[in-house]
Amino acid sequence: MVFIVGLGNPGEKLENTRHNAGFMTVDFFAKKNDFPEFELEKKYESLISKKGNILIAKPQTFMNKSGLAVGKITRSYKLKAESLVVIHDDIDLPLGKIKIAKNRGSAGHKGVESIIKVIGNKNLVRIRVGIAPLRGKAKAPETFVVKDFAEEEQKIINKTIKKISEALDCFIENGLEKTMNEYNK
């Protein structure tokens, strides 16, 4: 089974913020691939959609406690970290850039840090979505990540989400190595 987790924060107010790049990506991927609507599964504290051997989750625990939800799902389904793909925002990458990595630390991302801590290992696939400002540096990263994308930025992130969806298709069909070779450019 492939377990895809999009990281973000629940609630309408935060729906289109930079921190929700993971949610936006799995929403697009699920729709493009005709997955059933996401449904809240309280025992997992997540919105879940499942089709065939692919499980998609959007933890509803808020970003910094994503590990709680992911841990419940991995234990319930008896999933290994190797089957886990986590999609999350990354303020250190230029807007629209993606980076696929495996078996790395959290690089300071609190949601990823939470997952690694709860599942007890870092042997998961991470798809990092660049959300850095188009110009300059984010002055206060904590507040910057919960701001909506500007119109120009939204166009870039939409293209990025489409590209990540294609990378997920490649990963499912061809595995990690080919996907990294194709999309880490």
What pLDDT is attached to residue 80?
Answer: 87
User: Which residues span the domain enclosing 12?
Assistant: 2-183
Residues whose CB falls within 8 Å of the CB of residue 151, separated by 6 or more in sequence, listed in order: none
Is the Cβ–Cβ distance between 100 and 170 less than 8 Å? Answer: no
* Rounded-to-5 percentages of helix, strand, coil across the chain: 45, 20, 30
For the chain, 185 residues long, the average pLDDT of each consecutive 10-residue run is: 97 93 98 98 98 98 96 94 94 96 91 95 94 86 91 96 98 96 94
2, exposed or middle or buried, with CB in 10 Å at 0-12, 13-18, 19+?
A: middle
What pLDDT is attached to residue 7?
Answer: 98
What pLDDT is attached to residue 168?
Answer: 98
pTM to 2 decimals? 0.96
Among candidates 120, 127, 146, which has minimal Cα distance to 62? Answer: 146
Among candidates 157, 159, 164, 141, which has minimal Cα distance to 87? Answer: 164
Is the Cβ–Cβ distance between 48 and 38 less than 8 Å? Answer: yes
Q: Which residues are catalytic, by number?
A: 19
Among candidates 68, 170, 156, 77, which has minimal Cα distance to 125? Answer: 170
Say which CATH number the domain at 159 has.
3.40.50.1470
How many domains, in total, are found in the chain?
A: 1
What pLDDT is attached to residue 107?
Answer: 87
